[in-house]
Amino acid sequence: MKKIAFFNVAELKKYQDGYILYRYPSDVIRTLGYHENVKGRVKAKLPTMCEMRFHTEETSFQMTFKALDADSHIHLYVEGFQSSSIPLKKGKKEKITFTLHPRFVEHHKDVSDQDGYDIRFIFDNSSRIVCYDVDQEDIVEEKNLPYVLYGSSISQGIGAHDIFHSYAFQLQQRLNVDILNKGLSGSCLLERKAIRYLSSLPCKGYILEIGCNVRGVMETEEFEKRFSYLINTLVKAHPKEPIFVINILDMFENLYKDFKDIPYHQKNLEIIRIIQEKIHKKRKKNLYLISGKNLIENIYGISGDLLHPSDIGHEEMSIKLAKIIKEILKED
């Protein structure tokens, strides 16, 4: 059995003779929600940017998967090269043979100085995935320190054609870092247990995309308490690591400025104000506020639902965020 490293996987949940990849621990998932909104209990089980990683000297190998909820895809990366995307049919246990391209095998020494191949299987948003051919005794922890991304459906990649077009995936490519994607579509509600879990993760820093999901769910007073707890907890647990807060609602206020009726307009302004005031009041050197105002500057960077970024918008976000973060950290 290969030594497999799971990345962005908080728990391997036993399912029949395989394992489902959860991005949050089960005890945290059970607590997600606010009043009627309990979407997070579903979204946290989707393997957004989860990965299986291993090293092999074989040029052809087999792995078995099942998509539980909907048709999905398994994406294969080899030595950092996007290699193939294999479709999975809902409910069908499939043993898939992956074969490296002969040209890649022939020229492997031109791109790598090691024997064998570093393999990454990357999963998307569409369905819970069961992985077979996995033994927990052979699972090892991924040791590279990542950034932790927490946010709404925008961070989970909704609006992008596939996970590779999401701003989160492109951002990690542009920053040359790993990102633990803990985005929760429709349910980034800043629950205390979720915050404590996020704060416990060893990491290089945090990227927090905050605001969208609380507008129609809770009063601003409740958001203010939860946002304060988020910032206080992360700063206390990680006093030296950078914490970037993306004030994402700035973006929609900017894009919709010519609209007669902006959804949640007054609530947006209140949440934007709370985020700004709390961060300025905290006065911590490792706490940075990024306005969403200029992350997407053209309305056509938004998809047809007038909320989620399109492929173009996700790419624009990743480019601008990478530039801002590099400037703050004074990196090339």
List, for residues 127-167, the tens digit of each pLDDT value: 999 999 887 776 777 778 999 999 999 999 999 999 999 99
Helices 311-329 and 167-175, interaxial angle, to 10°? 40
Please name the residue ranges forming H helices in the chain: 26-29, 40-43, 102-106, 108-111, 153-156, 167-175, 192-199, 220-237, 249-255, 265-282, 311-329
SS3 300: helix
pLDDT at 258: 66
CA–CA gap between residue 71 and residue 92 (Å, rounded): 9
Please provide residue 139's backbone torsions phi and psi, each rounded to the nearest 5 degrees. Answer: -85, 130
The pTM of this model reads 0.94
Residue 297, Cβ neighbours under 10 Å: how many?
13
- Whether 260 shows a pLDDT value over 60: the answer reads no
pLDDT at 306: 82
CA–CA gap between residue 211 and residue 227 (Å, rounded): 10
How many helices and strands in the chain, by DSSP H and E? 11, 16
Across the chain, mean pLDDT equals 92
C-alpha distances out from residue 143 to 1, 147, 202, 284, Å: 20, 13, 10, 28
DSSP 309: B
Cα torsion angle, 101, 106, 107, 108, sign? positive
The mean pLDDT value for 264-272 works out to: 89
pLDDT-based confidence at residue 331 (cuts at 50, 70, 90) = low
261-295 per-residue burial string, b: 16 or more CB within 10 A, e: under 16: eeebeebbebbbebbeebbeeeeeeebbbbbbbeb
- Whether 1 shows a pLDDT value over 80: the answer reads no
- Whether 262 shows a pLDDT value over 60: the answer reads yes
Tell me which of 72-86, 192-206, 232-246 is least confident: 72-86
pLDDT at 135: 79
Helices 265-282 and 220-237, interaxial angle, to 10°? 30
Tell me which of 55-64, 105-114, 284-293 is least confident: 105-114
pLDDT at 93: 96
314, 160 in Cβ contact below 8 A?
A: yes
pLDDT at 266: 86
CA–CA gap between residue 209 and residue 198 (Å, rounded): 14
| Domain boundary assignment for the chain | 4-141, 147-329
What CATH architecture is 4-141?
Sandwich (2.60)
The CATH superfamily of 147-329 is SGNH hydrolase (3.40.50.1110)
Tell me which of 196 and 305 has the higher pLDDT: 196
